[in-house]
Chain A
Amino acid sequence: MRTISLFGTLVAFLGIASGADFAADIEPIFRDKCYGCHGEQQQFGQLRLDSRSVATSTGPSGPRIIPHDAQASSLYQRVAGLGEGNRMPMGGQLSDAEVALIKSWIEDGAVWPEGRGADAALNQHWAFVPPTRPEEPQLSNGQRAENAIDRFVLARLAAEGLEASPRASKETLIRRLSLDLTGLPPSLEDTQHYLDDTAPGAYGRLVDRLLASPHYGERWGRIWLDAARYADSDGFEKDKPRQVWFYRDWVVDALNADMPYDRFVVEQVAGDLLPGAAQQQRVATGFLRNSMINEEGGANPEQFRMEAMFDRMDAIGKAVLGLTVQCAQCHDHKFDPISQRDYYRMFAYVNNFHESTQAVYSADEDRLRGEIFAEMREIEAGLRELSPDWRERMAEWERAEATNQPPWTVLDAHIKLGSGEKYEVLPDKSILAQGYAPTRSVVTPEGQLEPGTVRAFRLELLPDPRLPLGGPGRSFRGTAALTEFEVEVAPAGDPKKWKALKIARATADVNPEMSILDPFLFPDKDNKRRILGDVGFAIDGFAMSAWSTDPGPGRRNMPRKAVFELAEPLEIEEPTLVKFKLSMNHGGYNSDDNQSLNLGRYRLSFTAAENAEADPLPGHIRELVSRGGQRTPEQEEALFGYWRTTVAEWAGANRKIEDLWDKYPEGSSQLVLDERPMPRMTSILQRGDFLRPTERVQAGVPGFLHPMPERDELPDRLAFAEWLVDGDSPTTARAIVNRLWQGHFGTGIVETSEDLGRQAADPSHPELLDWLAVELMENGWSLKHIHRLIVSSETYRQSSRVTPSLLELDPNNRLLARSARFRVDGELVRDIALASSGLLTAQIGGAPVYPPAPEFLFQPPVSYGPKRWYTANGAQRYRRSLYAFRYRSVPYPVLDTFDTPTGNFACVKRDRSNTPLQALVTLNEPVFMEAARELGRRTLDEGGADDPERIDYAFKRVLARAPSGSERSELVALLGSQRERLQAGGLDAAQLAFGEQPSEPETAAGNTAELAAWTAVSRVLLNLDEAITRE
């Protein structure tokens, strides 16, 4: 063979075309250079060169081998480096001689003798075939099965010559179940109750109780939040706090209600597009909005919107599809059949929403809003009743209003960059400010005026879905404050000769009463008082005062306008440049505190009319008035709602309504999706670079997955969401049941739970995975159903004891001849200390809390900028860790130390490290020490009559079991030795028992030394390996 190859080389060298033999010349090249990626194991590009039927078929880039026509054969093109595709083989080329051999073989007819190579088709990867319910294996004698899970597991064990472990003790089981299902250890009473329940079905009752606990949603919600990359801040340099906890609570509530998983996904990907979408469905779309936001000075908003879109695709891939689609953002997926084109076609479904922030209200706030609106309607109905001629009067007012506005000409304005804020000029010539938001800035829109007269300028502030709460400003409430409005002109021919114009009078359609700018929300290190109020503040030449657009909650996110009348008419003879200086001096103290009151979207116009004033009518009312004609009842009600404010005799009723507005709840906000009316164009991006779009693509799904169902209208994001959870999806159900399994056993049936694709680890129990996936879908996608099946199985209920032979035969316990034993997730580590000690505040949901953390973490030079951390005292200090505020750039250190993800990207499988820094946390962190003191106190107060009884009490509180004799003696000895030291004055009893600064009533009780000794013992108990382990 070698000689023949040599001959081939010689032939190529001499440039002689000569017949190449498949077996002698071609197959060896394929074997040595190609099979690695295109053979039995791997079949990149759906090509295997060891199979004649596949190799001679048509691939993604055309016919691979066309006999007698090498130039047209993609095989030859790729190895010769012709055409657009990457030259093959990747990472090394064939020699010229080898290329020539292939060429001549094809030119000679590509003769591939029968029987050469494998008689094989493409491997169909198991996870790309929809699951069907497999037959359950038969049990052999003596095997015990609770359900199908056990039959699959036992069959595999039997095949490997292994046996299941005996059941774990009841004490172990209740702690295991409680931790797995609720993330909290059982209380003493729970444990006792279960131990006492000897009737049949006790275990099932326990499972039911735990699955019905509201803490179930907290535990499994947190796991979903990892995949949803939940965090309470923006990430990147600024890492600004955001309000997204309504989404977190939505997840907890949905899981507690056992919302079907398909619905759970649909609401998160496209809840806003569901018919009749309510606040809850919109909140659910926070899932896609959990991406990071970069508002550092130089950031281009579109670039980082794209980064966020990539992150969303990654999250959908990992969390829902169980596939790593991310690779395909830059190039065709190397291992799975997802082409770059497929990627951007899927991308196109989700590439069409505004990054929006919506006001949201708690149930109580919503009730209050309902009451307020009802009362307003009642007052208005009363007015109509009292004045039966209101319709005529309103019509008369309308006629007067219809024509009283001067004509305005909108200025074509542009803004020079400088502060880092980015400006987009929209089709209506308004300017949208995005990206970095300087806290102090002067924005200078410029335009040109043509000959004529100008007597006044108008500044319109407009809403936009991309602004916080819809704008019109950029504060976290969507409000703005204009410190000063100035205008200058210069001849277009002499653009350096700027001359300021004097403004005589300003009017606006909102003129809030004077108030002091909240120095807490908008801190000013100068300690100067800044004030907000009517539009006169925008022309008073005083940098401390500003016109505010904020009349209070409920009406702050509306279009606003101000008109500035010139002292002297501006007579323009030559084209003239005009420049506005819009000063915004009412943000925080510098760029790092992330607080601004900048204008968000605005538009400038001018008029020649005399005495121009800001139209007091809101835009939508003005539109109704000037349009006239037929109106809907809603339009009439809106018109009436405005008109009544102009009726002098109704001052009393108007006042009452104003008072109601004063009661309007502040609410919270939530990042949501807001579908754009005009679809965005999606193109394939070369190397994922947003500046290098290539071919435009239409939305579509990859061919190797299930098809998009036929529908009448063009498929949109909602269709895509429904496709993700379609019953025909090969990976969706498998991915989620695999992760439920992972939560209970530490490792999934497929260990690579983020990737079920070709590179995935082999499933340990493939039939079981399919069985569970089908079971999920056939039971209304009920996750609780799957949990119940898993935890009811004998497999789950085994002891986790490791024997030497098991460790030898199955070190990673993939076969489940024993239950799993692993350190619990970071949140649970802390929650266990809180719950076992009795400190836990079990309140569900609400705004994030700030457990104690070292202040320096949130200040430079550790944090880029200063961050707020309002350390909680009292009950809020002891909320579950789920509720701890999550800054991405400086994560709460207790959780960070225990491998809790930061939310920078989707995570479906946590790391589980075991480090000295973790020991320092559980030994020394303040809340852990407070837990030790509380456990000590309770033990002394409630734990029994003598030391052994008390030790048993404390031990059971933490571990749900009684200590063994030697464990008890060890603890008695520790208690004794510390008592001795305390008595001898070797330890500061008061500090140990009460902390750094004990209060007098604490120390006056007289049992300080005993409390101190029990604190020491409790601290050891809380630090046991078993305490933070799911046994």
Chain B
Amino acid sequence: MLRSHATSSPLARRWFLQQCGVGLGAVALRDMLQAADPLAPKRPHHAPTAKNVIFLFMGGGPSHLELFDNKPELAKHEGTLPPANLLEGYRAAFIDPNSTLLGPKFKFARHGESGAELSELIPHTAAIADDIAIVKSLVTDAFNHAPAQVMMSTGTQQFGRPSMGAWTLYGLGSESRDLPGFVVFSSGQKGPSGGNSNWGSGFLPSMYQGVQFRTSGDPVLYLSNPAGVDRRLQRDSLDALGRLNGMRLQEVGDPEIETRISSFEMAYRMQASTPELMDISQEPQHVLDMYGAEPGRPSFANNCVLARRLVERGVRFVELFHESWDQHGSLISGLKKNCRDTDKASAALVSDLKQRGLLEDTLVLWGGEFGRTPMVQGGTDDGRDHHPNAFTMWLAGGGIRPGTTIGKSDELGFNVVEDRVHVHDLHATILHLLGFDHTRLTYRFQGRDFRLTDVAGDVVKKLLA
């Protein structure tokens, strides 16, 4: 009849006809609406190897040169200026790019059967070296925090595009009826530079956006009943609301009312399920110890425990922001603190998922929005500026080939020289693991089919198990 861009709702329509014509029972009715639910689980393009994603987003830009990418040559050239040809067209955020080179500040050693070379700062990650794949050849387009984070989260520096988590929910739906399908935590000294655009839904329907949880007070905004309202009054109120809304539904026939009733019921279930989920004191002590988590003290480690609990409950995409890695100064002490805060928990998460059989279909990512300059920042030889040309991330589970290292940067850690992985390629790979051809997971907006990978991206085959 009309070329329409809206999602018409054939199921709601069918429901209406059957409900009013034949009179279905309430249970069947609800099941049917579930099927019409845009968050209902969906099948991707091909058989996926990952069902869930946990992204440990190390905001600020961790130094690849101190953590993952050992550069003895950089140490040798400390104090000298970088070769002029390297700096052609190069822009830095703070420093004059023509600043002297700064050698790595920590020692490296090889670990595991895979022989991955990792820094002394991350002994726990070293212990799971054979479970992870290290990519030393990431490249991004932006060298300021907010645009680069938004690039990592949405595939473009421009604000207003859907985040990876939103695309994932859009493509796969949610397995959880009691919890949002995309949950976000934040720890560290600051909040993410890219703000809520990091987990926004962009032009996708807003139901796909990430929901922030926090680990003290109400885990979800307005989850607790107001003063004077107890659980029973809440139930009585919802019962009355359900019946009154039902009467209205009979009167005006708008299926949206049924969705409203479902939304209120899910809210009620969340009120019960979320505090239980968030209560990590239910975890055995040895598990808490493994992560370094302490109930009641908000931390990245607690968030890692929660990430596992969320995945166990069918939450599709969990993102943990830890914004602390912007070491313009205090490189040594800052990195020590950050690794104390994150290394043990990140490794524990992988191990814990593995021993529970969840790692098989849960993809874990660790990394930030860019790396750091081989050149020094500041007069005290203790800082590095932002660097987009080469940085490192690691991935585990969900179909990632374990115990592998791919990509190489040059001897100064400045440019990628082997197996370049642009952010678009990373995104293409993540979507591939989730069962999608990244060129076909699209959404039409303003007359154009948009995708997470814009017009680029190649699946990094070497990463696949």
Known contacts A235-B159, A923-B267, A967-B247; A761 and B17 CB within 8 A of each other? no
Bound form: Cα–Cα A629–B146 in Å:
56
Query: Chain A residue with minimal CB distance to B228?
Result: A992
A905 at the binding interface (Cβ < 8 Å): yes
User: Given the complex of chains A and B, what is the CA–CA distance between A918 and B447 in angstroms?
Assistant: 30
> Which A residue sits closest to B92, measured CB to CB?
A298
Q: For B261, give the chain A residue with the smallest CB separation.
A: A1025
Which B residues are CB-close (under 8 A) to A764? 2
Residues of chain B from 170 to 200 with CB closer than 8 A to chain A in the complex: 180, 186-197
Q: Does A77 contact B (CB under 8 A)?
A: no
Residues of A within 8 A of B159 (CB): 235, 292, 904-905
B257 within 8 A of A: yes
Q: Is B46 an interface residue (CB 8 A)?
A: no
Task: Output the least CB separation between B448 and chain A (Å).
Answer: 7
Question: Quick one: CB contact mask for A998-1031 with B, threshold 8 Å, 1 for yes?
Answer: 0000000000000010011001100111100001
B242-271 with Cβ < 8 A to chain A? 243-245, 247-248, 251-257, 259-261, 263-264, 266-268, 270-271
Known contacts A294-B144, A920-B270; A1026 and B248 CB within 8 A of each other: yes
Measured in the bound complex, the distance between the Cα atoms of B8 and A751 in whole Å is: 13
Residues of B within 8 A of A296 (CB): 144-146, 193
A804 CB contact (under 8 Å) in B4, B21, B240, B263: B21
Could you tell me the distance between the alpha carbons of A795 and B268 in the complex, rounded to whole angstroms?
39
Q: Is B465 an interface residue when CB atoms closer than 8 A count as contact?
A: no
B147: chain A residues at CB < 8 Å are 236, 294
B13 lies within 8 A of chain A by Cβ = yes
A977 to B239, CA, bound (A): 12
Contact of A417 among B20, B95, B236, B270 (CB under 8 A): B95
Task: Find chain A residues with CB under 8 A from B91 CB.
Answer: 300
Question: A924-B224, A991-B228 known; A420 and B93 CB under 8 Å?
Answer: yes
Cβ–Cβ contact B96 & A996, under 8 A: no
Name B248's contact: one of A327, A905, A915, A1025 (CB within 8 Å). A1025
Interface 9-mer from A107-115, A356-364, A859-867: A859-867
Nearest-CB distance from A493 to chain B (Å)? 21
Find chain B residues with CB under 8 A from A967 CB: 244, 247
Binary contact readout A895-910 vs B (1 if CB under 8 angstroms, 0 otherwise):
0110100101100000
Known A804-B21, A970-B243, A971-B240; contact A914-B263, beta-carbon cutoff 8 A: yes
Q: Which one of B143, B193, B226, B268 has the highest number of Cβ atoms from chain A below 10 Å of its Cβ?
A: B226
A992, B9: Cα distance in complex, Å:
40
- Residues of A within 8 Å of B244, CB to CB, are 967, 970-971, 1020, 1024
Residue in B6, B271, B446 whose CB lies within 8 Å of A754 = B446
Q: Does A737 contact B (CB under 8 A)?
A: no
Provide the bound-state CA to CA distance between A803 and B191, in Å.
49
Bound CA–CA A757/B448 (angstroms): 11
Please, how many angstroms separate the alpha-carbon atoms of A442 and B230 in the complex? 58
Q: Is A913 an interface residue (CB 8 A)?
A: yes
Query: Contact between B228 and A995 (Cβ–Cβ < 8 Å)?
Result: yes
Q: Which residue of B lies closest to A421 (CB)?
A: B94
Q: Does any Cβ of B come within 8 Å of A94's Cβ?
A: no
Chain B residues with CB under 8 Å of A854's CB are 217-218, 221
Q: Roughly how many angstroms separate A953 CA and B16 CA in the complex, as a whole number?
A: 33
With A977-B236, A1020-B244 as contacts: A917 and B146 at CB distance below 8 Å? no
| A334 neighbours in B (Cβ, 8 Å) | 448
Does B193 contact A420, Cβ atoms closer than 8 Å? no
Tell me if B214 counts as interface (CB < 8 A to partner A): yes
State how many angstroms separate the Cβ of A418 from the closest Cβ of chain B: 7
Q: How far is the CA of A981 from the CA of B228 in the complex (A)?
A: 12
Binds B, one of A139-147, A342-350, A376-384, A805-813: A805-813
Question: Residues of A contacting B16 with CB < 8 Å?
Answer: 802, 804, 807-808
Give Cα distance in the complex from A326 to B216, angstroms: 42
Bound CA span A798–B3, Å:
25
Q: How far apart are B304's CB and chain A's nearest CB, in angstroms?
A: 15
Q: CA–CA, A889 to B150, complex, Å?
A: 12
**Interface locus among B203-211, B282-290, B355-363, B403-411:** B203-211
Residues of B within 8 A of A336 (CB): 447
Instruction: A307 to B20: give the CA distance in the assembly, Å.
Output: 53
Task: Determine the chain A residues whose CB is within 8 A of the CB of B3 once the complex forms.
Answer: 761-762
- Contact between chains at A417 and B94 (CB < 8 Å): yes
A626 interface residue (CB < 8 Å to B): no
A122 at the interface (CB under 8 A from B): no
User: In this assembly, does B223 line the interface, its C-beta being within 8 Å of a C-beta of chain A?
Assistant: yes
Are A804 and B20 closer than 8 Å at their CB atoms?
A: yes
Which A residues are in CB contact (< 8 Å) with B234?
Answer: 923
Give, as a whole number of angstroms, the nearest-CB distance from A589 to chain B: 14
Q: Are A800 and B4 in contact (CB under 8 A)?
A: no
Which one of B12, B205, B260 has the highest number of Cβ atoms from chain A below 10 Å of its Cβ? B260
Q: At the interface, yes or no: B237 with Cβ under 8 Å from chain A? A: yes
A905 touching B247, Cβ below 8 Å? no
Q: Which residues of B contact A417 (CB under 8 A)?
A: 94-96
Give the number of residues in B that approach A within 8 Å (Cβ atoms). 100
Which residues of B (90-125) have their CB < 8 Å from a CB of A? 91-96
Given that A420-B94, A904-B197 are contacting pairs, would A327 and B448 also be in contact in the complex, using a CB cutoff of 8 Å?
yes
Which residues of A, 718-744, contact B by the 8 Å Cβ criterion?
A: none
**Residue numbers in B under 8 Å from A964 (CB-CB):** 247
A864, B236: Cβ atoms closer than 8 Å: no
Do A808 and B259 touch (CB < 8 A)?
A: no
Tell me whether A770 is interfacial, beta carbon within 8 Å: no
Most buried by A among B16, B144, B194, B378: B144
Contact: A804 with B253, CB < 8 Å?
Answer: yes
* Contacting pair B205 A890 (CB below 8 A): no
The answer on a CB contact under 8 Å between B191 and A865 is yes
Complex: how many Å from CA A911 to CA B227? 32
Determine the distance from Cα of A752 to Cα of B256 in the docked complex, in whole angstroms: 22
- Are B146 and A807 within 8 A (Cβ)? no
Alpha-carbon gap, A728 to B213, bound state (A): 52
- Does A132 have its Cβ within 8 Å of any Cβ on chain B? no
The answer to whether B191 touches A863 (Cβ under 8 A) is yes
A929 at the interface (CB under 8 A from B): yes
Q: Are B240 and A1020 in contact (CB under 8 A)?
A: yes
Asked whether A916 and B270 contact (CB < 8 A) given A418-B94, A761-B5, A803-B253, the answer is yes
| From B94, B195, B241, contact of A864 by CB (8 A) | B195
B253: which of A299, A307, A801, A916 is its contact (CB, 8 Å)?
A: A801
Given contacts A862-B191, A865-B191, contact A751 B254 (CB under 8 A): no
Q: Compute how far the CA of A250 lies from the CA of B234 in the bound complex, rounded to whole angstroms.
A: 43
Q: How far is the CA of A222 from the CA of B24 in the complex (A)?
A: 42
B29 within 8 A of partner (CB): no
* Chain A 870-898: CB-based contact to B (< 8 A → 1; otherwise 0): 00000000000000000011110100110
When chains A and B are docked, how far (Å) is the Cα of A494 from the Cα of B66? 36
Q: Which residue of A lies closest to B18 (CB)?
A: A804
CB-CB contacts of B313-336 with A at 8 A, as 1s and 0s?
000000001010000100000000
Q: How far is the CA of A916 from the CA of B180 in the complex (A)?
A: 9
Flag if A986 contacts B232 (CB, 8 Å).
yes
Among B95, B158, B259, B270, chain A packs the most CB atoms within 10 A around the CB of: B158
How far apart sit A891 and B227, CA to CA, in the bound complex (Å)?
A: 25
Q: Which residues of A contact B187 (CB under 8 A)?
A: 861
Chain B residue numbers with a CB within 8 Å of A977 are 236
Query: Across the interface, do A924 and B226 meet the contact criterion of CB distance under 8 Å?
Result: yes
- Whether A995 contacts B95 by the Cβ 8 Å rule is no
Q: Does A758 contact B (CB under 8 A)?
A: yes
Closest beta carbon of chain A to B57's beta carbon, Å: 12
Write out the residue numbers on chain B whose beta carbons fall within 8 Å of the beta carbon of A751. Answer: 4-6
Contact B222 A925 (CB under 8 A): yes
Judge whether A966 and B94 touch: CB under 8 Å: no
Q: Is the CB of A1025 within 8 A of B2?
A: no
Query: 21 A–B contact pairs at CB < 8 A?
Result: A237-B194, A298-B143, A417-B94, A418-B94, A752-B5, A807-B13, A808-B16, A811-B13, A821-B256, A864-B195, A889-B197, A897-B221, A905-B159, A913-B206, A913-B207, A914-B260, A916-B264, A988-B228, A992-B229, A992-B233, A995-B228
A-B interface, 6 closest residue pairs, ranked by CB to CB distance from nearest: A298-B93, A759-B447, A992-B228, A889-B195, A991-B228, A919-B267
